[in-house]
Structure 1
Amino acid sequence: MNVREFFENLSGARRVYGDPYEKDGVTVIPVLHIRAAGGFGRGERRGAEPGEQPGGADTAAVAGNAMNDGEGGGGAAEARPVGAYIVKDGEARWEPAFDVNRFVLGVQILVGLALILFARRLRPRR
Structure 2
Amino acid sequence: MDVDQLMSTARESLTARRVYGEPVERDGLTLIPAASVAGGFGGGKGADASGQEGEGGGFGMSGRPAGAYLIRDNQVSWRPAVDVNRAVLVAGVVVVAYLLMRPRVARARSMASD
Once residues 36 and 4 of structure 1 are traced to their aligned partners in structure 2, the CA distance between those partners, rounded to angstroms, is 12
Structure 2 residues without counterparts, runs of 5 or longer: none
The answer for the alignment partner of 2:47 in structure 1 is 44
Q: Aligned residues: percent identity?
A: 38
1:27 aligns with 2:11: no
CA contact (8 A) 1:16 1:32 kept: yes
The answer for the alignment partner of 1:78 in structure 2 is 62
Query: Which is richer in helix?
Result: 2
| CA positional deviation for 1:4 | 3.4
CA contact (8 A) 2:6 2:58 kept: no
CA contact (8 A) 2:6 2:57 kept: no
* Per-residue deviation, residues 13-45 of structure 1 (Å, max 9, x unmatched): 322221111122211101111111000022211
CA contact (8 A) 1:10 1:34 kept: no
Aligned residues: 107
Once residues 60 and 80 of structure 2 are traced to their aligned partners in structure 1, the CA distance between those partners, rounded to angstroms, is 25
- For residue 96 of structure 2, the aligned residue among 96, 99, 112 is 112
Q: How does 1:56-95 map to 2 (within 5 A)?
A: 68-95=52-79
Once residues 99 and 73 of structure 1 are traced to their aligned partners in structure 2, the CA distance between those partners, rounded to angstroms, is 32
Q: TM-score, normalised by structure 2?
A: 0.76
After TM superposition, the runs of 4+ consecutive aligned structure 1 residues lying more than 4 A away are: none
| CA positional deviation for 1:104 | 1.7
The answer for the alignment partner of 1:59 in structure 2 is none
| CA positional deviation for 1:90 | 2.1
| Partner SS state of residue 63, structure 2 | strand
Q: TM-score, normalised by structure 1?
A: 0.70
RMSD of equivalent CA atoms: 2.5
| CA positional deviation for 1:70 | 2.7
CA contact (8 A) 2:31 2:70 kept: yes
Once residues 8 and 24 of structure 2 are traced to their aligned partners in structure 1, the CA distance between those partners, rounded to angstroms, is 26
Structure 1 residues without counterparts, runs of 5 or longer: 48-66
1:102 aligns with 2:86: yes
CA contact (8 A) 2:69 2:78 kept: yes
CA contact (8 A) 1:20 1:29 kept: yes
